[in-house]
Chains A and B, each alone.
Chain A
Amino acid sequence: MNKLIKISFLLDGRMFSVETKSDRRLLDILREDAGITGVREGCGEGECGACSIFFNGRLANSCCIPAIAAEGAEIDTIDGFSKTEEYSIISQAFADAGAVQCGFCTPGFIMASAALLRENPRPTDNEIKIGLSGNLCRCTGYTMIIEAVRLASGRMARNV
Chain B
Amino acid sequence: MHKISRPVNRDDSKNKSSGSAVYISDVIKPGMLAMAVKSADFQHGKINTIKKPELPEGYFYVDGKSFTGMNRASIVAQDWPFFAESEVLYFGQPVCAYTGPRIEVCEKLCIQTKIEYTPLPAVSVIEDAADFFNDYTIIKGNPDKSFKEAAQIFENQYRTGMQEQAYMEPQGMIAEFNEGKLTVYGSMQCPYYIKNSLKNAFNLDDDNVRVIQSITGGAFGGKEDYPSILAGQAAAAAIVSGKPVKIVLDRRNDMSVTPKRHPSLIKIRTAVDSEGNITAMDIDCRIDAGAYESLSGVVLERAIFISTGAYNIADVKVRGRTMKTNHIPSGAFRGFGGPQALFAADMNMYYLARKLNAAPLELKRRYLFQRGDISVTSGIFRDDIKLEEMISRVEEISDYSSKWAEYEKTSQAGDKMKGIGISFAAHGGAFTGNGEQEIIKSLVRLEWEPDKQTSAGGRLRILVSNVEMGQGASITLRKIVAEESGLPLEAIIFTNPDTDIVPDSGPTVASRTIMIVGKLIQDAAAMLKQKIEDDINSPSSVEKSYVHPPEFDWDEETFTGDAYPAYSWAVNVIEVEIDPITFEIKITGSWAVYDVGTPIDIKILEGQMQGGTAQSLGYSSIEKMQMINGKPAQVSFTDYTIPTTLDFPDTECVFIDNPYRYGPFGAKAAGELPNEGPAAAFTAAISQASGRMITEIPVTPEMLEEQLR
By the criterion CB–CB under 8 Å, are B17 and A40 in contact?
no
Which of A31, A44, A102 is within 8 Å of B168, CB to CB? A102
Which chain B positions have C-beta within 8 A of A136?
168, 637, 642, 644
A35 CB to nearest chain B CB (Å): 9
By the criterion CB–CB under 8 Å, are B636 and A104 in contact?
no
Which residue of chain A is the closest to B609 with respect to CB atoms? A141
Interface of B is mostly: loop
By the criterion CB–CB under 8 Å, are B22 and A104 in contact?
no
Which residues 103-160 of A sit at the B interface, judged by CB distance below 8 A?
Answer: 103-107, 110, 128-130, 132-133, 135-146
Which chain B positions have C-beta within 8 A of A37?
19, 22-23, 25-26
B329 CB to nearest chain A CB (Å): 22
Using known A-B contacts A132-B645, A138-B220, A142-B645, determine if residue A103 contacts B16 with beta carbons closer than 8 Å.
yes
* Residue B274 lies at the interface, judged by CB distance under 8 Å to chain A: no
Using known A-B contacts A82-B19, A100-B10, determine if residue A48 contacts B637 with beta carbons closer than 8 Å.
yes
Using known A-B contacts A45-B637, A138-B642, A139-B611, determine if residue A101 contacts B470 with beta carbons closer than 8 Å.
yes
Which of A45, A96, A141 is within 8 Å of B651, CB to CB? A141
Most chain A Cβ neighbours within 10 Å, of B7, B19, B606, B613: B19
By the criterion CB–CB under 8 Å, are A102 and B19 in contact?
no
* Residue B140 lies at the interface, judged by CB distance under 8 Å to chain A: no
By the criterion CB–CB under 8 Å, are A143 and B471 in contact?
no
Which residue of chain B is the closest to A21 with respect to CB atoms? B104
A144 CB to nearest chain B CB (Å): 6
A158 CB to nearest chain B CB (Å): 20
Which chain A positions have C-beta within 8 A of B169?
40, 42, 102, 104
Contact with B along A63-106 (1 / 0, CB 8 A): 00000000000000111001000010001001110111111111
Using known A-B contacts A45-B251, A98-B604, A102-B218, determine if residue A141 contacts B17 with beta carbons closer than 8 Å.
no
Contact with A along B209-228 (1 / 0, CB 8 A): 00000011111100000000
Which chain A positions have C-beta within 8 A of B472?
101
A43 to B623: give the CA distance in the assembly, Å.
17
A40 to B18: give the CA distance in the assembly, Å.
12
A92 to B169: give the CA distance in the assembly, Å.
23
Which chain A positions have C-beta within 8 A of B642?
136, 138
By the criterion CB–CB under 8 Å, are A138 and B166 in contact?
yes
A144 to B651: give the CA distance in the assembly, Å.
11
Which chain A positions have C-beta within 8 A of B614?
140-142
Which residue of chain B is the closest to A104 with respect to CB atoms? B217
By the criterion CB–CB under 8 Å, are A104 and B17 in contact?
no
* Residue A10 lies at the interface, judged by CB distance under 8 Å to chain B: no
A110 to B12: give the CA distance in the assembly, Å.
15
* Residue B582 lies at the interface, judged by CB distance under 8 Å to chain A: no
Which chain B positions have C-beta within 8 A of A103?
12-13, 15-17, 21, 215, 217, 470
Which of B15, B469, B603, B645 is within 8 Å of A98, CB to CB? B603
Interface of A is mostly: loop
Which residues 172-222 of B sit at the A interface, judged by CB distance below 8 A?
Answer: 215-220
A107 to B23: give the CA distance in the assembly, Å.
13
By the criterion CB–CB under 8 Å, are B17 and A91 in contact?
yes
By the criterion CB–CB under 8 Å, are A102 and B167 in contact?
yes
Which chain A positions have C-beta within 8 A of B217?
40, 102-104
A95 to B472: give the CA distance in the assembly, Å.
13
A33 to B220: give the CA distance in the assembly, Å.
32
By the criterion CB–CB under 8 Å, are A94 and B19 in contact?
no
Which chain A positions have C-beta within 8 A of B216?
102
Which chain A positions have C-beta within 8 A of B470?
101-104, 139
* Residue A11 lies at the interface, judged by CB distance under 8 Å to chain B: no
Which chain A positions have C-beta within 8 A of B220?
138
By the criterion CB–CB under 8 Å, are A104 and B168 in contact?
yes
Which chain B positions have C-beta within 8 A of A99?
13
Which residues 596-621 of B sit at the A interface, judged by CB distance below 8 A?
Answer: 603-604, 606-607, 610-615
Which residue of chain A is the closest to B469 with respect to CB atoms? A102
Contact with A along B641-656 (1 / 0, CB 8 A): 0111110101100000
Which of B17, B167, B610 is within 8 Å of A100, CB to CB? B17
By the criterion CB–CB under 8 Å, are B18 and A45 in contact?
no
Which chain B positions have C-beta within 8 A of A101?
218, 470-472, 607, 611
By the criterion CB–CB under 8 Å, are A91 and B14 in contact?
yes
By the criterion CB–CB under 8 Å, are A79 and B638 in contact?
no
* Residue B490 lies at the interface, judged by CB distance under 8 Å to chain A: no
By the criterion CB–CB under 8 Å, are A47 and B638 in contact?
yes
By the criterion CB–CB under 8 Å, are B651 and A143 in contact?
yes
B651 CB to nearest chain A CB (Å): 7
Which chain A positions have C-beta within 8 A of B454?
none
Which chain B positions have C-beta within 8 A of A130?
645-646
* Residue B402 lies at the interface, judged by CB distance under 8 Å to chain A: no
Using known A-B contacts A91-B17, A136-B168, determine if residue A43 contacts B644 with beta carbons closer than 8 Å.
no
* Residue B453 lies at the interface, judged by CB distance under 8 Å to chain A: no
By the criterion CB–CB under 8 Å, are B17 and A95 in contact?
yes
Using known A-B contacts A42-B168, A100-B10, A104-B168, determine if residue A140 contacts B610 with beta carbons closer than 8 Å.
yes
Which chain A positions have C-beta within 8 A of B13?
91, 94-95, 99-100, 103, 106
Which residue of chain B is the closest to A96 with respect to CB atoms? B9
Using known A-B contacts A43-B251, A98-B604, A102-B217, determine if residue A79 contacts B19 with beta carbons closer than 8 Å.
yes
* Residue B250 lies at the interface, judged by CB distance under 8 Å to chain A: yes
Most chain B Cβ neighbours within 10 Å, of A41, A79, A102, A139: A102
* Residue A7 lies at the interface, judged by CB distance under 8 Å to chain B: no
B89 CB to nearest chain A CB (Å): 28
Which chain B positions have C-beta within 8 A of A135?
644-645
By the criterion CB–CB under 8 Å, are B636 and A110 in contact?
no
By the criterion CB–CB under 8 Å, are B469 and A95 in contact?
no
Using known A-B contacts A104-B168, A107-B19, determine if residue A41 contacts B25 with beta carbons closer than 8 Å.
yes
By the criterion CB–CB under 8 Å, are A144 and B610 in contact?
yes
By the criterion CB–CB under 8 Å, are A36 and B19 in contact?
yes
Contact with A along B9-52 (1 / 0, CB 8 A): 11011111111111101100000000000000000000000000
* Residue B170 lies at the interface, judged by CB distance under 8 Å to chain A: yes
By the criterion CB–CB under 8 Å, are B636 and A45 in contact?
yes
Which chain B positions have C-beta within 8 A of A132?
645
B198 CB to nearest chain A CB (Å): 25
By the criterion CB–CB under 8 Å, are A139 and B646 in contact?
no
A146 to B647: give the CA distance in the assembly, Å.
13
B13 CB to nearest chain A CB (Å): 4
A82 to B643: give the CA distance in the assembly, Å.
28
By the criterion CB–CB under 8 Å, are B17 and A94 in contact?
yes
Which of B18, B25, B650 is within 8 Å of A143, CB to CB? B650
Contact with A along B300-337 (1 / 0, CB 8 A): 00000000000000000000000000000000000000
Which chain A positions have C-beta within 8 A of B20?
38, 82
Contact with B along A1-18 (1 / 0, CB 8 A): 000000000000000000
Which chain B positions have C-beta within 8 A of A31?
26
By the criterion CB–CB under 8 Å, are A48 and B610 in contact?
no
Using known A-B contacts A42-B251, A45-B251, A136-B637, determine if residue A106 contacts B9 with beta carbons closer than 8 Å.
no
By the criterion CB–CB under 8 Å, are A98 and B606 in contact?
yes
* Residue A59 lies at the interface, judged by CB distance under 8 Å to chain B: no
Which residue of chain A is the closest to B618 with respect to CB atoms? A138
A139 to B646: give the CA distance in the assembly, Å.
15
Which chain A positions have C-beta within 8 A of B611?
101, 138-141
A110 to B18: give the CA distance in the assembly, Å.
9
Closest 8 CB pairs of A and B: A38-B19, A103-B16, A102-B470, A104-B217, A141-B614, A141-B610, A37-B26, A47-B637
A103-B12, A139-B218, A142-B645 given; name 16 further pairs at CB < 8 Å. Answer: A47-B637, A50-B168, A100-B10, A101-B218, A101-B470, A104-B168, A104-B470, A107-B19, A129-B645, A136-B168, A138-B166, A139-B168, A139-B607, A140-B607, A141-B613, A141-B643
> Could you write out 6 A-B pairs with CB less than 8 Å apart?
A100-B10, A101-B470, A104-B169, A136-B642, A139-B168, A144-B607
Residues of A participating in the B interface, judged by any CB pair closer than 8 Å: 31, 36-45, 47-48, 50, 77-79, 82, 87, 91, 94-96, 98-107, 110, 128-130, 132-133, 135-146
